[in-house]
Amino acid sequence: MAQSSSSSAATTTPQFVGINFSTFCSVMGRPLVMTGVFREILIRHFAHADYIEEPDLKKLIWRENTSTGIKIESVHRWRPELTEFRPAVMVKRNAYQNQRRGIGDRRQGPHTDQRGTDHYVTYWVGSHTMFCISRTGAHAELLGSEVQHELTEFGPAIAKSLNLLRFQATQVGAVARLAEARENWVVPVTVGYAYEQRWTLRQQAPRLKTVAMSLITDC
């Protein structure tokens, strides 16, 4: 468990209790999984008033029923009426980009072991945007700052817990009216991350050592 304290909220001690990495080991980095990870982090943060830094947001307690003080969902489940009367954070996945680590994604150094298994590794860089929605622009700004503080301050702990190469809040966008519900305002908070994908290919037949020239000249 990690704790964070800031000069702007000396009496508040937000906590990050960690995520069981073994649960996500085989599927880490998949877009839908990362969307769920972000939602889980924010739900835990807004589940208790003591974890919320901004005094004006301490009433926004998340509950798993219709009495919740804040909606936290993926954009796939969002409808304008969901945020008509209460603040919300909508989680959206952005594009992923591959960054090749070596020629043909082969592992650096000996890329084939004694059993003839080829080892490969590559990097993926992605990001998610948290759309912080509220009835006024000022309240949306406070909500955006709260989300940014949580993800920035616990970024190192989150990266370690999820075995990510990088996890960092990269941008807080300008406040604007929500296009789908003009009575609401939105502040987008974007977080970037990177992870390593490894895999192996095992030969199922002996490697081809020579090529018969007759097969070429007879074509």
Residue 53 falls inside a structural domain: yes
Residue 209 falls inside a structural domain: no
Mean pLDDT of the chain: 81
**pLDDT of 144:** 98
Residue 114 falls inside a structural domain: no
Residue 214 falls inside a structural domain: no
Query: How far, in Å, CA of 123 to CA of 100, rounded?
Result: 6
Mean pLDDT of 59-85: 83
Residue 11 falls inside a structural domain: yes
By the 10 Å C-beta count (0-12 exposed, 13-18 middle, 19+ buried), 74 is classed as middle
**pLDDT of 131:** 97
Confidence at 29, pLDDT banded by 50, 70, 90 = low
Mean pLDDT of 37-57: 96
Residue 218 falls inside a structural domain: no
Count: domains in the chain: 1
Report the range of poorest mean pLDDT among 17-26, 39-48, 120-129: 17-26
Confidence at 197, pLDDT banded by 50, 70, 90 = confident
Separation in Å, CA 83 to CA 4, 68, 156, 174: 30, 12, 31, 19
Coil, strand or helix at 166: strand
Q: Find the DSSP H helices in 28-133.
A: 31-45
Q: Is the pLDDT assigned to residue 114 strictly greater than 70?
A: no
Residue 41 falls inside a structural domain: yes
Q: Is the pLDDT assigned to residue 10 strictly greater than 60?
A: no
Residue 103 falls inside a structural domain: no
Domain encompassing residue 50? 2-96+125-193
pLDDT single digits (tens) 120-173: 888 899 999 999 999 999 999 999 999 999 999 999 999 998 889 999 999 999
Phi/psi of residue 114, nearest 5 degrees: -65, -20
pLDDT single digits (tens) 199-216: 787 766 665 555 555 544
Confidence at 9, pLDDT banded by 50, 70, 90 = very low
With 0.75 as the threshold, say if the pTM is over it.
yes
Query: How far, in Å, CA of 128 to CA of 202, rounded?
Result: 35
Assess contact for 12 and 52: CB atoms under 8 A. yes
